[in-house]
A and B are shown apart, each in its own frame.
Chain A
């Protein structure tokens, strides 16, 4: 019985993963709140800020999740692969700690988990520009617009 217990204990000990705090420490000095405060209360800040943003339309950047992501996460690794929260390597900034302490996180089911990369361009039509416009008939589209329009020509789906 005692032997069994010992084996179980050893098993537990071997199962504890190593934490990776290097990315957190690298940016600690630039963070919006002191390190100790962020360690303990970062979710509280995010929770308060999300309600202010969605319900009241307050879009300050100080406690915004997007700004956390922009500062703490590189869009790609050194080998060019995309960094995602759910990756097996657990090298995403949030994953590095949250997997260690075993606290599940569902922010990134909806929110972007890495900064916007150049490929996912935003639609920014300049009001005064003469470049291709989606509703223009006569002008020539430029290459990037064509890329985005893609095979969506049969767009006029009817109900």
Chain B
């Protein structure tokens, strides 16, 4: 019985995905706009009136998100650690191919830190290094990370990586180094300047970025009209990264 239910749920999800994909082009003109991220004065702290989020339309990602991954690598300088074996390489963002066993229908989606409202990685961190910023960005405060990797175990999205080796010539805006855990931080350094995350800029026609708390923001409007499903919604984490067409 439970198997049938699981299948039914999946099928309904697939149906709604197709419907959303069909609607998408008609309802809202979808491209990145410069005012999605209003610039914050540099001397002001971030506020919890804002919650940053991202809506990714999988049907519009012609490359399954590979360009987004590439942009992330370039922005933060990961993926090319000289001594790491391929399976050890840092992976802030990856593309995941999903195939339905029954229909063989498959699609690819980019998966990174989902910036949960209730992040399990923050719950398990023994030092408080894994943290959620006031504006909903989940990140590692590497200054106090001891490299225990509990958060990597706790994350249901496999979003976090560990740096195993000494690195040099990191990007000045994105410090990363041996013995600390790292993951997507929604490009905090860019958001604080009023810029969009690098991956959003790399796929401007498929991704909307903005403030989930503001009912008038483009992302809120788009989600109101089209929905936006979470991966593993059953965990009740209330993710900030949402998908269309799952």
- Which residues of A are interface residues toward B (Cβ below 8 A)? 50-52, 54-61, 66, 69, 82, 84, 86, 109-116, 120-123, 125, 127, 133-135, 137, 148-149, 152, 155-159
- Nearest neighbor of B110 in chain A, beta-carbon distance: A156
What B residues does A137 contact at CB under 8 A? 62
- Nearest neighbor of B97 in chain A, beta-carbon distance: A158
B45 A148 Cβ-Cβ under 8 A: no
Query: Contact mask B59-70 → A, CB, 8 Å, 1/0?
Result: 001111011111
A159 B171 Cβ-Cβ under 8 A: no
B142 A56 Cβ-Cβ under 8 A: no
Give the distance to chain B from A96, nearest Cβ to Cβ, in Å: 18
- Nearest neighbor of A67 in chain B, beta-carbon distance: B172
Q: Can you list 29 A-B contacts (CB < 8 A)?
A: A55-B131, A55-B133, A56-B45, A57-B45, A58-B42, A59-B42, A66-B172, A82-B169, A109-B166, A110-B142, A111-B175, A112-B170, A112-B172, A116-B172, A120-B171, A121-B74, A122-B75, A123-B198, A125-B201, A125-B202, A127-B201, A134-B202, A135-B67, A135-B203, A152-B73, A155-B70, A156-B63, A156-B64, A158-B97
- Nearest neighbor of A116 in chain B, beta-carbon distance: B172
Q: Which residues from 162 to 176 on chain B have a C-beta closer than 8 Å to any C-beta of chain A?
A: 166-173, 175-176
Seed contacts A57-B188, A127-B201, A159-B158; 7 additional CB < 8 Å A-B pairs = A50-B143, A111-B175, A116-B171, A133-B202, A135-B206, A152-B70, A152-B73
Give the distance to chain B from A57, nearest Cβ to Cβ, in Å: 4
- Nearest neighbor of B176 in chain A, beta-carbon distance: A110
Partner of B202, one of A50, A57, A61, A135: A135
A157 B43 Cβ-Cβ under 8 A: no
B95 A123 Cβ-Cβ under 8 A: no
A149 B70 Cβ-Cβ under 8 A: yes
- Which residues of B are interface residues toward A (Cβ below 8 A)? 32, 34, 40, 42-46, 61-64, 66-71, 73-75, 77, 79, 91, 94-97, 108, 111, 131, 133-135, 139, 141-143, 158, 166-173, 175-180, 188-189, 192-193, 198, 201-206
Docked pose: A159 CA to B95 CA in angstroms: 8
What A residues does B95 contact at CB under 8 A? 155-158
What B residues does A111 contact at CB under 8 A? 170, 172, 175, 177
A57 B69 Cβ-Cβ under 8 A: no
- Nearest neighbor of B177 in chain A, beta-carbon distance: A110
A57 B178 Cβ-Cβ under 8 A: no
- Nearest neighbor of B91 in chain A, beta-carbon distance: A157
Docked pose: A69 CA to B159 CA in angstroms: 31
Give the distance to chain B from A72, nearest Cβ to Cβ, in Å: 14
Give the distance to chain B from A120, nearest Cβ to Cβ, in Å: 7
Quick one: which of A69, A84, A122, A137 has the most chain B CB within 10 A?
A122
A113 B168 Cβ-Cβ under 8 A: yes
What B residues does A157 contact at CB under 8 A? 91, 94-95
Give the distance to chain B from A7, nearest Cβ to Cβ, in Å: 38
